[in-house]
Amino acid sequence: MTRHRKLSVAKAAAVLAAIPILLLAYAAGPEPGKTGAPGESTCADAGCHTGTVNSGQGSVKIDAGGSSYQPGVKQRIKVTVSDPVQRRWGFQLTARVGATRTQAGSFTPVDGNTQVLCSNANFREQPCSGAALLQFIEHTMMGTRPGTVTGATFDFDWNPPATNVGPVMLYAAGNASNNNAQNTGDSIYTTNVMLTPDAGGTKPVISQGGVANGAGFQANIAAATWISVFGSNLSTSTRTLMASEVVGGKLPTTLDGVSLTVNGKSAFPSSISPGLLTAQSPSDSMVGPVNVVVTLNGVASDPVPVPLQTFSPAFFLWPGGVAVATDPNFNSRVKPGAFPGATTVAAKPDEVIILWGTGFGPSNPDVPAGQLVPGDRAYNIANPVTVTVGGMTAEVFGAALASSNASVVQVAIRVPPNAPDGDLPVVATVGSVSSPATTLLTVKR
């Protein structure tokens, strides 16, 4: 925990008791070059603490507030050292240009828990002046917080280089000590993170919980399904996909510098705006929580998790939460007056209508995400689909992908003959997963 050339805690207990607490607070910390960065050792290697690196029950983590930096803009960094069996805490961190030994920016303490020290290329400590080549930030004696259980977090500011120097690596070593005033029984942990430059652009932000099914807006999605992403700074323009951008039946993965990934796989945006993106999710066999990331002009958002399911059925909506429905000739079936200036009629009992949705799972044969559905044959939904209207079972004639579209499903049903007039809940179920019960179908005799 203390520097090798200074009096150790064990040898100097009596002396330290006589030193004013203000001086004592800045008397601890390892010598330079103990972060485990390329060309550096750790306190375990140097012998000031015994044990094997990263062999304990804890960890050290770096939180840089994201995965990027903006040249010349101060950034708050948090280093957390944790271990369920230890009782005192320390760390050292440095910033390097890529994997080199070139210093990247500088550090500024924000409280008495951290301090800055500098060194030459051989890690000999020297004043932090223009002649110093490397800089480190580490704990103070006060920052060790003896007796604290579980772990401790150290906050400080990093001042990135004034210009774009490419990726920057942050390297840190954490010391989880047992607080026995000896160099035994402690655990040393190392970690590193890469920060990529924000080339002057604004970082896109996905709202927490801002990824939803693109039709019913439930908080889960499926593979090869239309999704909606809500947030801010998601795009610098507002527009939809143009026909000329679909080449050979393939959808693009980028629109005006906007791209997004689901579980690390490229999605296919169809409309963009600063606050909302609509995209087709990629094909994926994964089931469980996955991360969604939006990238705008090379600047990535923080990842936001969303449940990825095999099925996430939903019907597209007209205003008022009413399902998009047509007759077999594609005339709309929605309550009169729903669209000013247009003549509309509601669905009738015993009428055959088509409901339009997404998220019904794979088709047979399957059509990969990012590809328009060919018009050569029927691409029926592989799993059985059932539908209720107002709680009554509707006859389902079939469910299939709409040709010349992507992940748009047509579900042909007969409105129950005894369905009453009114706005009735319409619910589809596939693979034991149901669409939102808040979606309505207007029925009028």
Return the pLDDT at 218: 97
252-296: pLDDT as tens digits: 999 988 999 999 999 999 999 999 999 999 999 999 999 999 998
3-state secondary structure of 427: strand
316-373: pLDDT as tens digits: 999 889 999 999 999 999 988 888 888 889 999 999 999 999 999 999 999 999 999 9
Buried b (16+ CB within 10 A) or exposed e, 382-410: ebebbbbbbeeebebeebbbbeeebbbbb
Which amino acid is present at 166?
Answer: G
Which amino acid is present at 165?
Answer: V
Closest CA relative to residue 268, chosen from 285, 283, 289, 288: 283
How far is the C-alpha of 203 from the C-alpha of 200, rounded, in Å? 9
With beta carbons less than 8 A apart as the criterion, state whether 425 and 416 touch.
Answer: no
Provide the β-strand partners of residue 153.
Answer: 80
How far is the C-alpha of 198 from the C-alpha of 300, rounded, in Å? 9
With beta carbons less than 8 A apart as the criterion, state whether 68 and 203 touch.
Answer: yes
How far is the C-alpha of 355 from the C-alpha of 350, rounded, in Å? 15
Question: Domains in the chain, ordered, with CATH?
Answer: 13-197 (2.60.40.10), 205-309 (2.60.40.10), 314-443 (no CATH)
- C-alpha distance from residue 402 to each of 171, 172, 297, 392 (Å): 52, 53, 33, 26
How far is the C-alpha of 298 from the C-alpha of 164, rounded, in Å? 13
Per-residue pLDDT of the chain (445 residues; tens, 9 = 90+): 444 333 233 323 332 333 233 323 333 688 899 998 988 988 776 556 666 889 889 999 999 988 888 888 889 999 999 999 999 999 999 999 988 889 999 999 999 999 999 999 889 998 987 666 899 999 999 999 999 999 999 999 999 988 888 899 999 999 999 988 787 889 999 999 999 987 556 789 999 999 999 999 999 999 999 999 999 999 988 999 999 899 999 999 999 889 999 999 999 999 999 999 999 999 999 999 999 999 987 889 999 999 999 999 999 999 889 999 999 999 999 988 888 888 889 999 999 999 999 999 999 999 999 999 999 999 999 999 999 999 999 999 999 999 999 999 999 999 999 999 999 999 999 999 999 999 999 999 9
Cβ burial of 252 (10 Å; 0-12, 13-18, 19+) is middle
Cβ burial of 47 (10 Å; 0-12, 13-18, 19+) is exposed
Return the pLDDT at 24: 30
